[in-house]
């Protein structure tokens, strides 16, 4: 169900929740992070966000194409790719700046080494070139480089998926299987933390789910109930394993190349979310949590801002030497979430003002043009 053509309030809610979770997960001293998805499943908010990115991209492309044509849709997504690339550069700059500031503080923080500041301080010109060409991706900016590639691929991915969805999925699946070997084609002195050849699978699944939604009749059929039961069983089994057996963090390559266990874990949860949406629970939650929906609608702004918020929250706790103080850590979590909600509200207000300005200018032009000219004065 959509709140506007091409827009789903349920998707915006889930995107908002994912962004809040990502911000909390990036606070290394967080208390709330222990309650986040990655502690109970083999996937995390990154899978949710990429899948919903594909879903929302398909919705946006088809909506623009229906109103203004395929050419307008292609141009819009080309601009979107450029917007995301600029957001990546801004995030990388923020990471380096934060690393420089934290390095000057009397605290020990892993951020200094991860931020890219040592590399930049040693060879600034080369660091700038490497960051601009995606050869180096400082800390939390590393998730963004795959998104411009996805945005650029939309122009041919959607037409292909409309004509031959099976072929599209097969191509995506093949690319995912070959992703560890295809990673060598990517620029960089080290492997990308998020291999786009692997993560495109979830983006494509989101795209296909928007173009070919599962019929309600199928979801409520015997097969649908069996799938729901299987999804519950998988989710509970993975939660048990994560809590009781496999308590150590998963190896980095599992996330980098989107391991199959992460895909299965995500698909089980995605099916259960689909059932919650069908029952109307997500819409009810979205209507009661407009601030979270706003975070989802301002996704790019809130992601970039969220990286800064999480670093500030983490640094303040370390600066106060309160890593062992649960209340202080919880307060920093709450402050980070509040800051993200405020950022979304400000971005939404700015967007409304920007959209209203051309309309007001056009209205003033119409009013001016409708006023009859004053009669010429005759000399007596």
- Under DSSP, the state recorded for 136 is -
Task: Dihedral sign for Cα 12, 17, 19, 20, please.
Answer: positive
Q: What is d(CA 128, CA 73) in angstroms, rounded to the nearest whole number?
A: 32
Q: Which two tokens stand for residue 24?
A: 């909390």
Tell me what pLDDT residue 352 has: 87
> What residues does each domain of the chain span?
9-353
Residue 7 three-state SS: strand
Q: Which pairs count as long-range contacts for 246-250, CB under 8 Å and 24+ apart, including other chains?
A: 250/42
Of residues 342, 299, 312, the one with CA closest to residue 18: 299
Q: C-alpha angle 176/177/178, rounded to 5°?
A: 90
Tell me what pLDDT residue 364 has: 59
Considering the entire predicted model, what is its pTM? 0.90
Q: pLDDT truncated to tens, each residue of the chain (380 aa)? A: 333 445 789 999 999 999 999 999 999 999 999 999 999 999 999 999 999 999 999 999 999 999 999 999 999 999 999 999 999 999 999 999 999 999 999 988 888 888 999 999 999 999 999 999 999 999 999 999 999 999 999 999 999 999 999 999 999 999 999 999 999 899 975 679 999 999 999 999 999 999 999 999 999 999 999 999 999 999 999 999 999 998 777 776 789 999 999 999 999 999 999 999 999 999 999 999 999 999 999 999 999 999 999 999 999 999 999 999 999 999 999 999 999 999 999 999 998 887 766 666 556 556 555 555 555 555 44
Tell me what pLDDT residue 242 has: 93
Q: What is d(CA 80, CA 283) in angstroms, rounded to the nearest whole number?
A: 27
Q: Which pairs count as long-range contacts for 185-193, CB under 8 Å and 24+ apart, including other chains?
A: 186/134, 187/133, 187/134, 187/135, 188/134, 188/135, 188/136, 188/137, 189/130, 189/135, 189/136, 191/256, 192/134, 192/137, 192/142, 192/145, 192/146, 192/256, 193/137, 193/142, 193/143, 193/252, 193/255, 193/256
- Under DSSP, the state recorded for 247 is -
Tell me what pLDDT residue 377 has: 52
Tell me what pLDDT residue 191 has: 79
Tell me what pLDDT residue 5 has: 45
Tell me what pLDDT residue 189 has: 59
């Amino acid at each position: 169900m959509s709140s506007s053509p091409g827009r789903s309030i349920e998707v915006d809610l889930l995107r908002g929740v994912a962004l809040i979770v990502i911000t909390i997960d990036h606070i290394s001293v967080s208390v709330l992070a222990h309650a986040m998805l990655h502690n109970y499943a083999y996937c995390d908010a990154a899978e949710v966000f990429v899948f919903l990115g594909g879903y929302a991209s398909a919705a946006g492309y088809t909506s623009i194409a229906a109103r203004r044509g395929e050419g307008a849709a292609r141009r819009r997504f080309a601009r979107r790719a450029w917007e995301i690339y600029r957001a990546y550069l801004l995030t990388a700059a923020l990471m380096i700046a934060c690393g420089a500031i934290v390095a000057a503080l009397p605290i020990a923080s892993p951020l200094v080494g991860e931020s890219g500041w040592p590399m930049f301080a040693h060879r600034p010109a080369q660091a700038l070139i490497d960051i601009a060409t995606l050869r180096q991706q400082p800390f939390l900016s590393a998730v963004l480089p795959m998104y411009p590639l996805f945005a650029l691929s939309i122009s041919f991915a959607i037409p292909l998926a409309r004509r031959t969805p099976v072929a599209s999925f097969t191509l995506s699946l093949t690319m995912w299987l070959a992703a560890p070997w295809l990673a060598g084609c990517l620029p960089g002195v080290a492997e990308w933390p998020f291999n786009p050849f692997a993560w495109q699978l979830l983006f494509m699944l989101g795209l296909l789910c928007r173009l070919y939604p599962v019929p309600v009749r199928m979801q409520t059929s015997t097969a649908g109930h069996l799938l729901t039961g299987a999804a519950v069983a998988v989710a509970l089994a993975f939660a048990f394993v994560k809590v009781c057996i496999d308590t150590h963090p998963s190896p980095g390559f599992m996330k980098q190349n989107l391991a199959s266990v992460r895909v299965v874990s995500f698909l089980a949860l995605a099916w259960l979310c689909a059932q919650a949406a069908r029952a109307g629970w997500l819409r009810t939650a979205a209507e009661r949590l407009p601030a979270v929906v706003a975070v989802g609608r301002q996704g790019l702004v809130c992601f970039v801002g969220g990286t800064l918020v999480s670093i500030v929250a983490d640094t303040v706790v370390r600066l106060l030497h309160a890593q062992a103080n649960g209340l202080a850590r919880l307060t920093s979590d709450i402050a980070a979430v509040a800051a993200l909600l405020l950022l979304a509200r400000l971005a939404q207000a700015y967007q409304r003002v920007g959209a209203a300005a051309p309309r007001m200018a056009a209205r003033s032009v119409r009013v001016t043009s409708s006023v009859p000219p004053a009669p010429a004065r005759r000399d007596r």
